[in-house]
Amino acid sequence: MALSTPPPSDALPLLPLLGGIEAGGTKYVCAVAYDPAKPLLEARFPTGEPRETVAKAAAFFREAAAIHGSIRSLGIGTFGPARIDPAAPDFGTILTTPKAGWSGFPLVEELRKALGMDLPVAFETDVNAAALGESVHGAARGVRNVAYITVGTGIGGGLLGDGRLLHGRMHPEIGHLAVPDLDAAYGKATQVCPFHASCLEGRASGPAIETRWGKPGHELPDDHPAWGLEAQYLAIGCLQLTAAWSPDLILLGGGVSQKSGLIDRVRDELVKLAGGYWDLPPMEDYLKLPALDQQAGIVGALELARRARGKTSEDAPAL
């Protein structure tokens, strides 16, 4: 008796299931999807001690497997600094961080162990993942050269040139671009970065605003002098990116950037600082808010997983 094989059903998805992790310093977001822009299941939990956090992530993917089947590849956008160079012997490791227990933690290796699978893994910074998410599925679709800056508890940025995430010896650290001291004009002297005398993150991150003015940004009214100063600092960061790399588009993301009217002030400041030197597009096309909002990181992580598909751990993910 011959056994017949049922014909493939159109109802069954032909795409492999993707796993994504937005591995933030304060929260982890895990998701599975066939289409990176449409997560099917998602879990969020605070980033705790590393092994406990990895166990929670693995538990999520096991639960998701019971419904959708096993994931075939995994994309991770992590807080940094992290070893993202696939050729490095310690690829997949979190580097020196003040976050307790995480320095030197081999995240990719531990996740593979916890999942019990040697699946392809793409490992990137969280801001690079968000840049990728916006580039493929959000506000930067169809744009060749994109800079994504997030302004929140810290300031970070990802750069995407011709569809590829840009890396150097490490990864970009846009938050630590040097900026001049504009605080003095306001009778202030706030610089919260412990490493640098005057850098963008130290002057313009959420904690810098709160330290300088004694209140978090969301409690400061739209006409507070804080926003004029913030716009000046952010415009300097945008100017430096423009001068050093000349992107087609700069996306200004993160909680602080959402402040009503802030992006218009940054645009005005950038026009002044640019001094007519560059043939820049209209500011509303050059400097924009992201489209995916808080989803950019996880959508980008799923997109990383899609790109890692078909690669083995030996054949390191290349973007």
Residues that bind Zn ion (CB under 5 A): 176, 193, 195-196, 199
Write down the least CB distance from residue 139 to Zn ion, Å.
27
For residues 107 and 208, which CB has a smaller minimum distance to Zn ion in the complex? 208
Axis crossing angle, helix 50-68 with helix 107-115, rounded to the nearest 10: 40
For residues 195 and 314, which CB has a smaller minimum distance to Zn ion in the complex? 195
Write down the least CB distance from residue 176 to Zn ion, Å.
4
Closest by CA position to 274, among listed 314, 227, 230, 235: 235
For residues 75 and 80, which CB has a smaller minimum distance to Zn ion in the complex? 80
Find out whether 200 and 237 touch, Cβ atoms under 8 Å.
yes
- Separation of alpha carbons 90 and 109, rounded Å: 10
- Separation of alpha carbons 76 and 23, rounded Å: 7
Write down the least CB distance from residue 192 to Zn ion, Å.
9
Closest by CA position to 22, among listed 114, 93, 125, 175: 125
Write down the least CB distance from residue 213 to Zn ion, Å.
20
Q: Residue 127: count other Cβ atoms within 10 Å of its Cβ.
A: 31
Closest by CA position to 294, among listed 29, 7, 18: 29
For residues 54 and 193, which CB has a smaller minimum distance to Zn ion in the complex? 193
For residues 31 and 199, which CB has a smaller minimum distance to Zn ion in the complex? 199
Question: Is residue 106 packed enough to be buried (19+ CB in 10 Å), middle (13-18) or exposed (0-12)?
Answer: middle
Closest by CA position to 213, among listed 235, 245, 237, 189: 189
For residues 77 and 237, which CB has a smaller minimum distance to Zn ion in the complex? 237
202-240: b (≥16 Cβ within 10 Å) or e: bbbbbbbbbebbeeebeebeeebebbebbbbbbbbbbbb
Write down the least CB distance from residue 178 to Zn ion, Å.
8
Write down the least CB distance from residue 125 to Zn ion, Å.
16
- Separation of alpha carbons 277 and 256, rounded Å: 28
Bridging pattern class, strands 18-23 and 27-33: antiparallel
Write down the least CB distance from residue 198 to Zn ion, Å.
8
Q: Which two tokens stand for residue 79?
A: 């807080």
- Separation of alpha carbons 34 and 88, rounded Å: 30
Write down the least CB distance from residue 196 to Zn ion, Å.
4
